[in-house]
Amino acid sequence: MNLLEFLGCFDWISPCVAILEGIANGDPFGTKSWTFYVPLDSSWTGAQIEKLLRQHGVKIWARMIHAGDLFFRVRRRQAEWAEYVLLRAGVPLKYRLYSQRNLRYLHPQPVKRRSLEQELLSMLDDLVGLFSE
């Protein structure tokens, strides 16, 4: 368990914000959205993923960290496009894909452990990303 996962155990604000974001996006129960999971120890930060998807017209919400995964939601009608963008960029996705058509873009990504310095920079990057909107 790394520092970010440990601190996430005490996070009660993110689930509350995720519920409010779900309501604001017209999806309080998660039936109109798709959840993507990215290994927390991948080379991708939450801010980098959000920036990548935003550049391609995809809005994300319900960003959280749990059990070694970073996860977030996108509108179901944008899920196939978001998955395509993520896979083409090399973001390692876990669990099942939204669209079988995107299987051809799925390449196993080696998982490397990040150093403490990289973890701190990643957390700082995520914090800056929250306030940059």
| Domain-located, residue 57 | yes
| Domain-located, residue 103 | yes
| Domain-located, residue 61 | yes
Res. 50: pLDDT tops 80: yes
| Domain-located, residue 92 | yes
Higher model confidence: residue 22 or residue 112? 22
**How confident is the model at residue 111, as a pLDDT?**
46
Supply the range of the domain harboring residue 63. Answer: 3-124
| Domain-located, residue 8 | yes
Q: How many domains does the chain have?
A: 1
Res. 131: pLDDT tops 80: no
Confidence of residue 121 (pLDDT cuts 50, 70, 90): confident
Cα separation, 57 vs 36, in Å, equals 16
| Domain-located, residue 27 | yes
| Domain-located, residue 132 | no
Provide mean pLDDT across the span 78-99.
88
